[in-house]
C-alpha cells in the first residue's frame, strides 16, 4: 500500500507529514513498517512523555477498557473525581480547586476563554501574546498570537488583543475597562520554546491583581513535568487563576483539563458548558496513573537531564556559531534556533533514526520522553554535530 498516495486521496491536506509510518513503540523507541528503530525526541508533540506504551499505564487502560469505556456525563464517574482530587492536591489544594474535563488542548482553552468572558462584562477583551499557540478551534485560533493561523477567521471571533511576550509595558498599554483576562504559555511551545522571564510573570500577576483580571496559564505543552516541576507555575513560583492541560496528561489518550481556583468556580452553572466525551473514563484512569508516575524522583530526573541537555546544546552552539543562533531550554523542553532552514536537518536526523521537530521554520524543538538517559542525549548531539559539520 502506498500510504502517501492513499492519504492524499482520502484526507484533507492539512498536515505536511514526514515520509514514515510507525507501527510500534516502546519507551523511548519507535519502529517503522520496515522494522527500522528510532529514538523519539518529540513524543508526538510532548504527549507520550512517560514513554510509548508505558506498561503501567497500558495495564490500566486495558483493565478499564474491559470494564466500561463510556457512559456519559449524565452520570457520576469515580475516575473523573479521582483525577480531580489528585490534580487538586498537587496544585492549589483540595479545598481551593475545581475543574472541567474535556478531550483536547483547544477544548481546555475554550472552556477557560468562556469562563473569562463570563467573568468579564459585555464586549470584554482577553490579552494574549505574540508567538503564542492556543489551539485550532475558532476562539483558540483567534487567541493565538500568530497571524498565519488567524488569517481568514478574524471576523468570526472578537475580543482578543495581542501583547508582546516578555514585555510588561506592552501589556499595560492594552489594558482598558473591557479587559477581563490574560492568557499565556509560561514557556511557549509551538512558538519556538520561548521562555517567559520570572520577573515578567511576577509583574503580570501583579498587574492582573491590580486590574482584577483572570490570569490563565496554558500549560498544555509546558505542564505535566516538562519544566522539572509538575506545573510550570511551580517552576516560576507565580500562581495563575486558571491552568489548562492536555497533551501528555493521559500519556497518549485524549483528555483536556481546565483547572480553576475555587473562588472562580461559580462562574459556570448547570448547563453552561458540556461535552459528550469529555473526561472519558479510560482517559481519566490513564491520567491518574500518569500523574502518580510523575513523582518527586521523576521530576528530579527531568531537572538533572534537562541541565545536561542544555549544557550539551550550548557546547554545540559554540562549536557551530554560524549555524546555531541560540540554544535555550527549561527542563526537558529545549531548542536551538538555526540561521538556516531546519527541515533538511530534521530529515537527516530521521534517516539516522532520530525523531526531532522543527517549528517556526528555523527552530529545532526537542521534547524527549522522561525515560531517556544521558547517552541518548549524547547520540542526538553527536548526530547533529555530524550533520552541521557537513553543512
Ligand X SMILES: *Cc1c(COP(=O)(O)O)cnc(C)c1O
Q: Rounded to the nearest whole angstrom, what is the least distance from the CB of residue 105 to ligand X in the complex?
A: 2
- Based on the shown chain and the rule CB under 6 A, indicate whether residue 134 belongs to the binding site for ligand X: yes
Q: Rounded to the nearest whole angstrom, what is the least distance from the CB of residue 290 to ligand X in the complex?
A: 16
Of positions 44, 105, 225, 369, contacts ligand X by CB under 6 A? 105
- Based on the shown chain and the rule CB under 6 A, indicate whether residue 104 belongs to the binding site for ligand X: yes
Q: In this chain, which stretch among 62-70, 117-125, 132-140, 174-182 interacts with ligand X, using CB under 6 A?
A: 132-140
Q: Rounded to the nearest whole angstrom, what is the least distance from the CB of residue 256 to ligand X in the complex?
A: 7
- Pairwise CA distance, residues 301 & 377, whole Å: 14
Cell numbers that stand for 89 in this block: 492536591
Pair 72, 80: CB distance under 8 Å: no
- Based on the shown chain and the rule CB under 6 A, indicate whether residue 258 belongs to the binding site for ligand X: no
Closest to ligand X by CB, 149 vs 388, is 149
- Based on the shown chain and the rule CB under 6 A, indicate whether residue 106 belongs to the binding site for ligand X: yes
- Based on the shown chain and the rule CB under 6 A, indicate whether residue 110 belongs to the binding site for ligand X: no
Closest to ligand X by CB, 221 vs 383, is 221
At which residue does the C-alpha cell 530529515 appear?
347
Exposure string over 204-219, b if 16+ CB within 10 A, otherwise e: bbebbeeeebbbbbbb
Of positions 120, 189, 329, 342, contacts ligand X by CB under 6 A? 189
Selection from 249, 259, 305 nearest residue 280 by Cα: 249
Look at phi and psi of residue 186 and say left if phi exceeds 0, alpha if psi is from -120 to 50, else beta: alpha
- Based on the shown chain and the rule CB under 6 A, indicate whether residue 246 belongs to the binding site for ligand X: yes
Q: Rounded to the nearest whole angstrom, what is the least distance from the CB of residue 202 to ligand X in the complex?
A: 21
- Please classify residue 309 by burial: count the beta carbons closer than 10 Å to its beta carbon, then call 0-12 exposed, 13-18 middle and 19+ buried: buried
- Pairwise CA distance, residues 284 & 181, whole Å: 29
Q: Rounded to the nearest whole angstrom, what is the least distance from the CB of residue 205 to ligand X in the complex?
A: 19
Number of residue whose CB is nearest ligand X? 105
Q: Rounded to the nearest whole angstrom, what is the least distance from the CB of residue 47 to ligand X in the complex?
A: 9
Selection from 293, 132, 327 nearest residue 225 by Cα: 293
Q: What is the 3-state secondary structure (H, E, C) of 83-125?
A: HHHHHHHCCCCCCCEEEEEECCHHHHHHHHHHHHHHHCCCCCE
Q: Rounded to the nearest whole angstrom, what is the least distance from the CB of residue 139 to ligand X in the complex?
A: 12
Q: In this chain, which stretch among 50-58, 84-92, 156-164, 185-193 interacts with ligand X, using CB under 6 A?
A: 185-193
Q: What binding mask, one character per residue, do residues 197-236 give for ligand X by CB under 6 A, x or -?
A: ---------------------x-xx---------------
Of positions 25, 51, 120, 135, contacts ligand X by CB under 6 A? 135
DSSP class of residue 61 equals H
Pair 41, 355: CB distance under 8 Å: yes
Closest to ligand X by CB, 105 vs 376, is 105
- For the four alpha carbons of 27, 33, 37 and 38, in that order, the dihedral sign comes to negative
Strand-pair partners of 218: 244
- Based on the shown chain and the rule CB under 6 A, indicate whether residue 133 belongs to the binding site for ligand X: yes
- Based on the shown chain and the rule CB under 6 A, indicate whether residue 185 belongs to the binding site for ligand X: yes
Q: In this chain, which stretch among 23-31, 182-190, 196-204, 272-280 interacts with ligand X, using CB under 6 A?
A: 182-190
> For 271-329, where are the alpha helices, taking DSSP H only?
281-293, 296-319
Closest to ligand X by CB, 109 vs 383, is 109
Closest to ligand X by CB, 99 vs 246, is 246
- Pairwise CA distance, residues 344 & 391, whole Å: 11
Closest to ligand X by CB, 91 vs 383, is 91
Q: Which residues bind ligand X (CB under 6 A)?
A: 104-106, 109, 133-135, 185, 189-190, 218, 220-221, 246-247
Amino acid at each position: 500500500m502506498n500510504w502517501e498516495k492513499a492519504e492524499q486521496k482520502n484526507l484533507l491536506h492539512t498536515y505536511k507529514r514526514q515520509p514514515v509510518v510507525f507501527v510500534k513503540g516502546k519507551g523511548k523507541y519507535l519502529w517503522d513498517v520496515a522494522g527500522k528503530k528510532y529514538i523519539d525526541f518529540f513524543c508526538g508533540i510532548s504527549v507520550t512523555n512517560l514513554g510509548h506504551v508505558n506498561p503501567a499505564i497500558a495495564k490500566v487502560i486495558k483493565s478499564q477498557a474491559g470494564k466500561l469505556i463510556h457512559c456519559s456525563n449524565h452520570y457520576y464517574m469515580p475516575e473523573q473525581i479521582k483525577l480531580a482530587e489528585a490534580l487538586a492536591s498537587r496544585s492549589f489544594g483540595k479545598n481551593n480547586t475545581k475543574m472541567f474535563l474535556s478531550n483536547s488542548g483547544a477544548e481546555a482553552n475554550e472552556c477557560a476563554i468562556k469562563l473569562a468572558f463570563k467573568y468579564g462584562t459585555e464586549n470584554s477583551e482577553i490579552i494574549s501574546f505574540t508567538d503564542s499557540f492556543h489551539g485550532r478551534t475558532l476562539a483558540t485560533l483567534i487567541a493565538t498570537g500568530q497571524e498565519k493561523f488567524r488569517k481568514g477567521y478574524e471576523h468570526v471571533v472578537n475580543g482578543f488583543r495581542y501583547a508582546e511576550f516578555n514585555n510588561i509595558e506592552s501589556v499595560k498599554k492594552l489594558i482598558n475597562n473591557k479587559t477581563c483576562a490574560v492568557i499565556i504559555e509560561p514557556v511557549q511551545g509551538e512558538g519556538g520554546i520561548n521562555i517567559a522571564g520570572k520577573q515578567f510573570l511576577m509583574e503580570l500577576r501583579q498587574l492582573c491583581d491590580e486590574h482584577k483580571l483572570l490570569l490563565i496559564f496554558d500549560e498544555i505543552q509546558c505542564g505535566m513535568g516538562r519544566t522539572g516541576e509538575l506545573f510550570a507555575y511551580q517552576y516560576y513560583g507565580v500562581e495563575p487563576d486558571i491552568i489548562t492541560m492536555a497533551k501528555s496528561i493521559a500519556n497518549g489518550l485524549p483528555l483536556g483539563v481546565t483547572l480553576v481556583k475555587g473562588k472562580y468556580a461559580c462562574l459556570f452553572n448547570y448547563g453552561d458548558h458540556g461535552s459528550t466525551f469529555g473526561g472519558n473514563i479510560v482517559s481519566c484512569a490513564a491520567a491518574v496513573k500518569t500523574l502518580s508516575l510523575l513523582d518527586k524522583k521523576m521530576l528530579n530526573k527531568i531537572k538533572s537531564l534537562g541541565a545536561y541537555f542544555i549544557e550539551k546544546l550550548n557546547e554545540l552552539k559554540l562549536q557551530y556559531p554560524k549555524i546555531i543562533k541560540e540554544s535555550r531550554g527549561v527542563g526537558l523542553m529545549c531548542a536551538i534556533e538555526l540561521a538556516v532552514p531546519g527541515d533538511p536537518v530534521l530529515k537527516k536526523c530521521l534517516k539516522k533514526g532520530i525523531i526531532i521537530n522543527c517549528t517556526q521554520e528555523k527552530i529545532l524543538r526537542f521534547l524527549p520522553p522522561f525515560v531517556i538517559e544521558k547517552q541518548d542525549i549524547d547520540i542526538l548531539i553527536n548526530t547533529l554535530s555530524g550533520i552541521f559539520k557537513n553543512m
